[in-house]
Amino acid sequence: MSPDNLHDKEELKYLEDLKDGHRDAFDFIYVRYSKMLLPKMQRMVKLNEVVDELLQDVFLKVWLNRAKIDLDQSFKGWIFTIAQNTVYGYYRSLAQDVKMQKHLLETFAEFYDQTEDYIFNKERVELLNQAIEKLPAQRKEIFKLCRIEGKSYQEAAEILSLSPSTVSNQLVSATKYIKRYVFFHSQEFIVFCIAAYLKVK
Query: What pLDDT does residue 89 have?
Result: 85
pLDDT range class, residue 36, cuts 50, 70, 90: very high
Query: What pLDDT does residue 116 have?
Result: 66
Average pLDDT score over the chain: 83
- Regarding pTM above 0.85, the answer is no
**Is 62's pLDDT higher than 50?**
yes
List pLDDT tens digits, range 139-176: 999 999 998 899 999 999 999 999 999 999 999 999 88
**Residue 135's CB: how many other CB atoms inside 10 A?**
19
Mean pLDDT calculated for residue range 49-75: 93
- What is the set of domains in the chain, with CATH numbers? 3-95 (1.10.1740.10), 98-200 (1.10.10.10)
Give yes or no for a contact between 146 and 167, defined as CB atoms under 8 angstroms apart.
Answer: yes
pLDDT range class, residue 200, cuts 50, 70, 90: very low
Three-state SS string over 110-159 comes to HHHHCHHHHHCCHHHHHHHHHHHHCCCHHHHHHHHHHHHCCCCHHHHHHH
Give yes or no for a contact between 76 and 4, defined as CB atoms under 8 angstroms apart.
Answer: yes
pLDDT range class, residue 178, cuts 50, 70, 90: confident
